[in-house]
Every structure is written in structure tokens, then in C-alpha cells.
Amino acid sequence: MTLSPAPIAPAPAPLLIRGARPYGEDVQDVLVEDGLISAVGTDLPNPGDVEEIEGDGCILLPGLVDLHTHLREPGGEEAETVETGTRAAARGGFTAVHAMANTNPVADTAGVVEQVLRRGEDAAWCAVHPIGAVTVGLAGERLAELESMASSKARVRVFSDDGKCVHDPVLMRRALEYVKTFDGVIAQHAQDPRLTEGAQMHEGRVSAELGLTGWPSVAEESIIARDVLLAEHVGSRLHVCHLSTAGSVEIVRWAKLRGVDVTAEVTPHHLLLTDEEARGYDALYKVNPPLRTQADVEAVRAGLADGTIDIVATDHAPHPQDAKDREWDTAAFGMTGLETALSIVQSTMVDTGAMSWRDVARVLSEKPSLIARDDSQGRPIREGEVANLLLWDPRPRRRVDTAEHASRSHNSPFAGTELPGANRLTLLAARPTVREGRIVERESAAGAAGEC
């Protein structure tokens, strides 16, 4: 099953990327013509009148794919729109995002998911694939129109009530059985609602010292344990959203050893930040699931490195300033993440030696596409493939300035943090969407690119 990328017009000009390192390996030249990678090799000849882009010292990756993005449209345009969210995605090196269903109205019908699809096609900064709700209105009471969303133009294959847990085990079983008929997947927000009533942050020493209601690890782990058993029983696919605890890693590892068809994701912020950040009561660090302990951070890093955790997904959750600029207990949960994701993965996993750049391609491009059954993205860097590409320079270091971000919201916990790496070029079906970290507007898309 192929999900078509957003239509691009006019035809992009040919490009020759010189001396980059695909997947961080051997230096190669890559020629891009007519929307495709037309040649890969050393010392490729310039066929004439082709713009050359210097890639010396840069890593060439397949365009990144985010399986967990909140674009907020329809209904939440004060925080984000498909236009602003996909511009942010392009700046982060993404050529495809999967938009979560907790919009207003909820994406629980074919009409709403097709509306999101059309907005993505109109924006054309990256491919936008709607995620359908599991239950009507995310209420957890009855199944949404799964089949109609799957057979619609949007061809939905990922379903999630993210933001809320499908906590009823009978309903979860039925959802798993239903999506199995068209090779869909349920992406579960693992949070037992009874164990997290009024919860504000991770339950532990820091929450006790701060006097904030704790969010126990078992609230996540118990749902994952239940659901992997249900998936095994039904023989269906399960995806665990934003896994955050050491215990969750062990449960997923155990399930995979049993042959359960389960995949899992970790967010960039759970790879780096801990519950210690809450000590300043800055609601930028308030997120669902909450930031955990250093031991949990180390466990999810190890799980990502050894393949227990399959992918990195941003859980990009924009909020207007007044939803965050308030007391901790009344502030919204969530962080932006599209524009800093790869820098954090580089810092926590590549620069530490835990993963290679080829591993990065796997967890941020290839495997997300496979989970979503989207064979238009995450493709190998080879002749004949669509040129969805990212040219990434791992050498610069910069301080995060949210005023420069393309997202409509600025609730990044990394504001002011020094992070590695810079986006030199993002190509969507061979069309530059970003050059030197800046969005390429339509009329200037053929302008000269800077050097690495």
C-alpha cells in the first residue's frame, strides 16, 4: 500500500550533491533529476547546467518521518496549523508527518481525515498522513469509523486516541481485531486513567519534595502489559506511543521475544530530560507522559540502541503561550519538538557512540514508514528512488532560539540549550523546502544553496 506524497509543482530543477556521506558512510555524489535520484557514485560528471551543492562533511539521510505529530488543525489553529506545523517539520528535516486525531472536530470520520490530507497537499512542505481516532470523539465508548477512514482517499492505517488511553480492554480488543482486516495498527497512549487522576509529574522523590501529585510508572506499564497480551491473542499489530519508563522497555522486550507484533516509540525529550527539570515549576517541562528519572532515560536510550524501541517520534505538541505561561497545575501538557528532534538524537545517541547514522535513518525514517505501511517515504538512497532527502551537517553547535522556529507555538523545553547539527538542505520529491535552515518560499525555490 502506497501513500502518495504531497503533489509538487512546478518540476524541481536538477541538483548535484557533491561529497556527502550517505548514512554517514563512504563519500558519494548524488544527482537528483526529474524528482528522482538519478545517480549515486564518486566523481559524478555534471550533466550540464545543474546546480552543485557542496556536501563535504555532511550526512545524507532519507527524509525524516514523524509518526506522532499534533498539527492542531482543525480547531486548534491558535496553537498550530497544517501550514505552520509542516514548515516546522521541513526545518527539522522531515519529509512526512503523521497527524494525530485529537483535533476539533476529532478525526474520527472519513470527512475529517480527508480535510487534513487536503490541507497537507495545499501546504506541500511535507507529506501529511492523517491518523484516525480509535473511538468516536476520543470518548473511549464505541469504535470510530475505522473502515471508512481506511478506505478513504487518506487511506488511514494508523489509529490512535492519543492524549487519551483506550482503557476499556474489550474495546481495545475489538479495535485490534478490526484493524487487522486491513493491516492497520493501533497506536496506544498507555496511561491508566484511574492511576493518574490529578497527576502532575512523575511519581518519585522529586514529586514528593515539590508537593505535586505523582504519576506512577505502573500507570504506563500496566496498560502496555495488557495490550501486548491482547495483541498476541488477536494476532494484530500494536504500537506503543511515547514509551517513557525502564519497566515499559522490559515489557516490550519480553513481548518481542514472545513474537508479539508490537512496536514502540520514544520521544526526543524522554531521551534527554528528567523529572529534575520540574524543580523550577516551569511548565515548559510539563508533558504527558511526564519526564522520568535518570535511570529511565538511560533505559530508553539502551532500548532504542538495541532495537527494543523501534523509532523516535516527536510528539510535537504546540500550545499558545497563555496555556503554558501559568502555574504548573493549570498549565497544559506538551512540548514542541519537530525542529530540534534530530539534534537531540545526535547529541544523545550518535555523539555518545550508542548509534550510527545508519541507525538514525532506521529509527527516524525507515521504520516509521514501515509501521505506517507507507512505502513512499523512508526509501534507500539509491538510483531510481524519489528524492526525499536531508543533508545534515553534524559539526555546528547552536543555541535554540524559538523566535526563529516556524511553529506557531514556542513551548520548547530546549530554548536556550546548545545543540549540535544544522539542516543544510531538505528535499521533498527533489524540491528544496529548506536551505541553510531557512524555509524556501515557492518563488525562490531554485536559489543557490550555501556550502556545508
Q: What is the DSSP string of 13-32?
A: PPEEEEEEEETTSS-EEEEE
Check whether 206 has a pLDDT greater than 70.
yes
Determine contact, residues 127/377, Cβ cutoff 8 Å: yes
pLDDT in tens, 46-70: 998 899 999 999 999 999 999 999 9
315 is catalytic: yes
* Distance (Å, whole) CA 120 – CA 128: 5
pLDDT of residue 449: 41
pLDDT of residue 421: 98
Model pTM? Answer: 0.95
CATH number for the segment(s) 15-60+383-444: 2.30.40.10
Strands (E), 162-240: 185-188, 201-202, 214-215, 237-240
pLDDT of residue 4: 46
DSSP tag of 386: B
Which residues are paired to 36 by β-bridges?
A: 33, 386
Q: Name the H helices within 46-183.
A: 82-91, 110-123, 146-151, 169-180
Find where cell 513512499 sits. Answer: 376
Q: What is the mean pLDDT of residues 22-36?
A: 97
pLDDT in tens, 402-436: 999 999 999 999 999 999 999 999 999 999 999 99
Determine contact, residues 69/347, Cβ cutoff 8 Å: no
**Region for 198 from its dihedrals, namely left if φ exceeds 0, alpha if ψ lies in -120 to 50, beta otherwise:** left
* Distance (Å, whole) CA 290 – CA 299: 15
Among residues 156, 160, 170, 173, which one has the least CA distance to residue 106? 160
The active-site residue, picked from 29, 310, 315, 374, is 315
Question: pLDDT category, 442, cuts 50, 70, 90?
Answer: confident
Q: What is the mean pLDDT of residues 190-204?
A: 98
DSSP tag of 63: P
* Distance (Å, whole) CA 300 – CA 308: 9
CA distances from 164 to 137, 167, 190 (A): 11, 8, 8
Check whether 11 has a pLDDT greater than 90.
no
pLDDT of residue 23: 98
For the chain, domain boundaries: 15-60+383-444, 63-371
- Computed over every residue of the chain, the mean pLDDT equals 95
CA distances from 47 to 15, 31, 33, 384, 411 (A): 10, 9, 10, 17, 46
Which residues are paired to 434 by β-bridges?
A: 426, 439
Q: What is the mean pLDDT of residues 205-217?
A: 97
Question: pLDDT category, 450, cuts 50, 70, 90?
Answer: very low
DSSP result, 273-340: --GGGGGG--GGG--SSPP--HHHHHHHHHHHHTTSS-EE---B----HHHHSS-GGGSPP-B--TTT
Helix (H, G, I), strand (E, B) or coil at 150: helix
pLDDT of residue 12: 87
pLDDT in tens, 134-188: 999 999 999 999 999 999 999 999 999 999 999 999 999 999 999 999 999 999 9
Which residues are paired to 96 by β-bridges?
A: 65, 127
Find where cell 556521506 sits. Answer: 21
pLDDT in tens, 359-376: 999 999 999 999 999 999
pLDDT of residue 414: 98
Check whether 9 has a pLDDT greater than 60.
no
pLDDT in tens, 67-103: 999 999 999 999 999 999 999 999 999 999 999 999 9
* Distance (Å, whole) CA 359 – CA 414: 24
CATH number for the segment(s) 63-371: 3.20.20.140
Amino acid at 255: A
pLDDT of residue 402: 97
Same CATH topology for 15-60+383-444 and 63-371: the answer is no
Annotated binding site: 68, 70-72, 102, 162, 189, 242, 288, 315, 319, 333-334
Annotated binding site for Zn(2+): 68, 70, 162, 189, 242, 315
pLDDT of residue 447: 39
Annotated binding site for substrate: 70-72, 102, 288, 319, 333-334
Query: What is the CB-side half-sphere exposure of residue 451 using CA atoms within 13 A?
Result: 5
pLDDT of residue 443: 59
* Distance (Å, whole) CA 393 – CA 423: 6
